[in-house]
């Protein structure tokens, strides 16, 4: 089966996930996490990608990133792959592939889902029962987005900036979002969208992306909204 073409739409956020081969660990030490973040920072800058949120789990990574140039995310992920896999294999005396095939990604309807996707990413360690609170996990963007920790990696999205007129009010408003549950239906929508490389968005947004990209944006028949989307035109979250 041929691979789906990548969405290549500069200025639109993408939720990216990359897993370790056979779900095996892609980080084995503290140094590994630091190395990946260094490679991510350098590659994002080189290919003009704006990183809004991330989490590094032991055997996979999640990124929320807006490419500002054609094929920016693809070029960024390829560069990280080359640099980090070389480092990891050399450091841990191994050879062969580290990642499970190519990364997966979904376009994000930012007006409706960007902040929810940020929460989804930063809550991964809590859902995995590694910590009870996202601020207790060292390898995510929560410390920057919720507490104001300085970071050369994170560039706030305009919708995040609109949470408050000052840094203090933005941080407070962002932390308050974590008291809101992400429903099971929405969790499934987020996962399906990224795993099947579709679009997380409202029906009219998916229609617009289909017209621009000429590719499928939703499950089922290409170009045909699901019944509930035809009736409602949006998701409740």
Q: With cut-offs at 50, 70 and 90, classify the pLDDT of residue 215.
A: confident
d(CA 149, CA 144): 4
Q: Is the pLDDT of residue 237 over 70?
A: no
% of the chain exceeding 70 in pLDDT: 91
Query: Looking at 18-22, 43-47, 133-137, 221-225, which range is the least confident one?
Result: 221-225
Instruction: Kindly state the average pLDDT of the residues 80-94.
Output: 95
Q: Which domains does the chain have, with CATH numbers?
A: 14-232 (3.30.70.1290)
Can you read off the two tokens belonging to residue 124? 């991964």
Q: With cut-offs at 50, 70 and 90, classify the pLDDT of residue 219.
A: confident
Q: Is the pLDDT of residue 225 over 80?
A: no
C-alpha closest to that of 236 among 180, 165, 197:
180
Within 8 A by CB and 6+ apart from 79, the residues are 39, 42, 43, 46, 47
Q: Are 126 and 142 in contact (CB under 8 A)?
A: no
Q: What is the pLDDT of residue 211?
A: 87
Instruction: Kindly state the average pLDDT of the residues 187-200.
Output: 94
Q: Is the pLDDT of residue 5 over 80?
A: no
% of the chain exceeding 90 in pLDDT: 79
Q: Are 103 and 49 in contact (CB under 8 A)?
A: no
Q: Which H or E run includes 46?
A: helix 30-46
Q: What is the pLDDT of residue 154?
A: 98
Q: Is 64 helix (H, G, I), strand (E, B) or coil?
A: strand
Q: Is the pLDDT of residue 88 over 60?
A: yes
Q: Are 202 and 153 in contact (CB under 8 A)?
A: no
């Amino acid at each position: 089966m041929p691979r789906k073409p990548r969405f290549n739409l500069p200025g639109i956020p993408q939720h990216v996930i990359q897993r370790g081969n056979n779900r095996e660990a892609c980080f084995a030490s503290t140094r590994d996490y630091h190395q990946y973040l260094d490679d991510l920072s350098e590659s994002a800058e080189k290919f003009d990608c704006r990183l809004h949120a991330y989490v590094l789990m032991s055997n996979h990574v999640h990124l929320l990133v807006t490419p500002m140039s054609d094929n920016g995310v693809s070029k960024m992920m390829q560069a990280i792959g080359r640099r980090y896999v070389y480092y990891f294999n050399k450091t841990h005396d191994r050879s062969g592939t580290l990642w499970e095939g190519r990364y997966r990604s979904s376009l994000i309807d930012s007006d409706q889902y960007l902040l929810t996707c940020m929460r989804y990413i930063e809550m991964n360690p809590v859902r995995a029962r590694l910590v009870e609170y996202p601020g207790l996990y060292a390898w995510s963007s929560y410390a920057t987005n919720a507490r104001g920790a300085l970071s050369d990696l994170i560039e706030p999205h305009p919708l995040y900036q609109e949470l408050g007129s000052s840094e203090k009010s933005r941080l407070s408003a962002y932390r308050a979002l974590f008291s809101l549950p992400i429903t099971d239906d929405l969790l499934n929508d987020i996962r399906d969208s990224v795993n099947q490389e579709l679009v997380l968005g409202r029906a009219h947004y998916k229609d617009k992306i289909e017209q621009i990209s000429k590719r499928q944006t939703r499950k089922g028949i290409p170009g045909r909204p699901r019944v509930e989307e035809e009736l409602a035109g949006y998701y409740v979250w």
